[in-house]
Each structure stands twice: as structure tokens, then as C-alpha cells.
Structure 1
Amino acid sequence: MNYMLQLYLVNLIWHAAVVHPFAEHIAYFLLFAIPLYTTAITNTASFAGYLAYIDFMNNLGHCNFEFIPKKVFSIFPFLKYTMYTSS
């Protein structure tokens, strides 16, 4: 392989990474801990409920559509910390 092409591909792949802030990792962890915390508090367990919640929240955050308008977050600012959305 041509050295310049190889160097270009290495740099392209290297710069394609996305760095997430540490606070985002903490928020992500806390949001996805809600089902586990709920089952611990209520002494019940539901694998189906846990998987449905995780799948729903993860898909909601990764889709490119806003289900909840930004006006709702401006009226109730604390909601943005309890939901995982694409914005």
C-alpha cells in the first residue's frame, strides 16, 4: 500500500473518534441505573421491564428525532437530566 495513502487512512480513523465528557458518562450511568434501583427498592425483578427500558431509552437517545419539544425543557429544566434524548 502506498505510504501516503496508509498515513491518510490512519489519520482518518484516528480523528473519527468522539470524545464524551465525563459528566455525560455519569448521567448515562445514572439514567440506566433507574431500573436496577427500582427493583432493589421494591424487592421485585423484571428482566423484560429492564430490557424494555434500556432499549427504549437507548433508542430514544440515538434516534435523530425529538419526541419532546425543547419548549418543554425550557419550562421544566430538570427534565433534561431525567431523560436521555438526542439533543
Structure 2
Amino acid sequence: RYHSHHHSSIVTEPITSVIHPFAEHIAYFVLFSIPLLTTLITETASIASFAGYVMYIDFMNNMGHCNFEIVPKRLFHLFPPLKFLCYTPSFHSLHHTQFRT
């Protein structure tokens, strides 16, 4: 039930993507830092990789909550691996309406 505050938004919008309890923000920070720390430890880090990763995570999070489709459905048929690279607002909307966690 700790995540339920985030799920109180049944009709999602980009601001919904950042409405979480404090401990959940900390958990996300730790989890999303793992790839960045790995590149630092292996000495393969670059400013571009850090910026790209952070922008990708932030964009996907906002896109998943924007409540309208940005990526045309046809692209998922033309390039099936795309479904592993991003999630759609339709999918995330189902998540918010069906899973009241």
C-alpha cells in the first residue's frame, strides 16, 4: 500500500511520474544509480553516457504518464524490439487503473 499514493492518479499526467513517497524516491535513486556507478567502477563512464541515461529514464517516465501516445503503434509492428525499450501511456494507464497497489 505504500505505492498507493502514486496510484491515486487514475488519469495520469507527467507530474504523476514524480509523485512518490520519500522512501520510494530514495529507492529509485539507488536503483537508477547502479548502471551509472558500474560505468564509473569499470572506468567506461562518459558525460554523454550519464546524460543520455538520465534523459532516457526521465523521458520514459514522463512519457509513460503523459496520457496520450507519442510513439505510433505502427512503429512497434515495424520494430518489435521497441517494446523492450519503452513503455506506452496505454500500458501504464492500465497499470494505474488495474493495479491498486
State the TM-score, normalizing by the size of structure 2: 0.40
Structure exhibiting the larger radius of gyration computed from Cα positions: 1
Structure with bigger RCO (C-alpha 8 Å, 6+ apart): 2
